[in-house]
Amino acid sequence: MEFKMERLGLLEVGDVLPVTEGKLPGSYYYTLGKAYAMSANYRLGERLKADKGTVVGIEETPKGYFVTVEFEES
């Protein structure tokens, strides 16, 4: 899952962080750690089951910084 981050230096590859779910009227979104980064909106069928994940990549693009996180779902 990809998260948008506003500035570098908050996370490192290999960090294991909690993820918090937020609910909107028709979708869900996720906050990584202590609001380090936020996900896009996801529909009910795409809802995340894990409560923590591992940072596997951090990328800088013209649109900002993006963090890739892997989750183990049961």
pLDDT, position 11:
93
Q: How many residues does the chain have?
A: 74
Neighbours of 33 (CB within 10 A): 20
3-state secondary structure of 2: strand
User: What is the pTM assigned to this prediction?
Assistant: 0.88
Per-residue pLDDT of the chain (74 residues; tens, 9 = 90+): 999 999 888 999 999 999 999 999 999 999 999 999 999 999 998 999 999 999 999 999 999 999 999 998 75
Instruction: Look up tokens 């894990």; give the residue.
Output: 50
Q: Identify the residue whose tokens are 């800088």.
A: 60
Contact between 71 and 32 (Cβ < 8 Å): no
Taking the CA atoms of the chain, what radius of gyration do you get in angstroms? 12
Domains plus CATH for the chain? 2-70 (2.40.50)
Q: What's residue 74's pLDDT?
A: 58
